[in-house]
Amino acid sequence: MADNTMYLEFPSKVENVAFARTAVAAFVSQLDPTMPELADISTAVSEAVTNVVVHAYPDTEGPVAITTKLMGQQVLVEVKDNGCGIEDVDSVRRFGTTTCSQERMGIGLSLIESCMDHIDVQSQVGQGTRIVMSKRLEQQRGGFGND
C-alpha cells in the first residue's frame, strides 16, 4: 500500500477528544491493524489530545493539529498545539506527575509510551508542544477481504 497522510485541525474542546481518536483510528484502519493495535493508537491519541485540552489551553480554547502518516506498516502521529508549553518535559514524562488536582493521575504520557513504540515530546514555554509518536504494526495482512 502506498504511503498516506491525513491532517486534522480542530479547537481544543473536550468533545473533540473522541472525534480525534476515532478519526485517527479510522484512517489507520486501512492498514488492517489488529484490534489491540488499533486500541493502543486510540488510547495514545486520546491521551495526547486530552493533554492539550487540559494543560496546553487551561483557560481558553486553541487549535489542535494532528498529522497522521502511514509509511508501510509504520504509523506516525503528530499532535501539535500553540498553548502554554511545558517547562520541564522530563518531569511530566514521569509516572504520576500532574499539574492538575481534579482527579487526574498524571499518567497520560506514560500510557502513550506503553501503547506506542516511540514518543518524542518537544515544547517551548509560551510557544506550544509537539508530540510525535509512532508504532509499527506487526503484520502485513492486506485490506478488506484478505486474511
Partner 1 sequence: MGITVSYQGSWLVAKLTGELDVATVPAVRAKLEQALVDKIPAGLILDLTDVTFMDSSGLGFLLGRYQRLAESGGATMIAGAQGQVRRVFELSGLTKIIPQVQTLAEALKAVGGES
Determine the Cα angle at 70 with ends 66 and 73, to 5°: 140
Number of residues in contact with partner 1, rule: CB under 8 A?
Answer: 25
Contact with partner 1 (CB under 8 A) among 6, 10, 50, 136: 50
Are 53 and 38 spatial neighbours (Cβ–Cβ below 8 Å)?
no
3-state secondary structure of 145: coil
C-alpha cell at 53: 485540552
Task: Determine if 79 is a binding residue for partner 1 (CB under 8 A).
Answer: no
Contact with partner 1 (CB under 8 A) among 1, 4, 11, 18: 18
**Is 61 a known active-site residue?**
no
| Contact pattern from residue 96 through residue 135 relative to partner 1, giving x for each residue in contact according to CB under 8 A and a dash for the rest | ------xxxx-xx--x--xx--------------------
Identify the sign of the CA torsion 136, 140, 142, 144. Answer: negative
Task: Determine if 42 is a binding residue for partner 1 (CB under 8 A).
Answer: yes
Beta bridge partners of 134: 76, 118
Contact with partner 1 (CB under 8 A) among 54, 64, 131, 137: 54
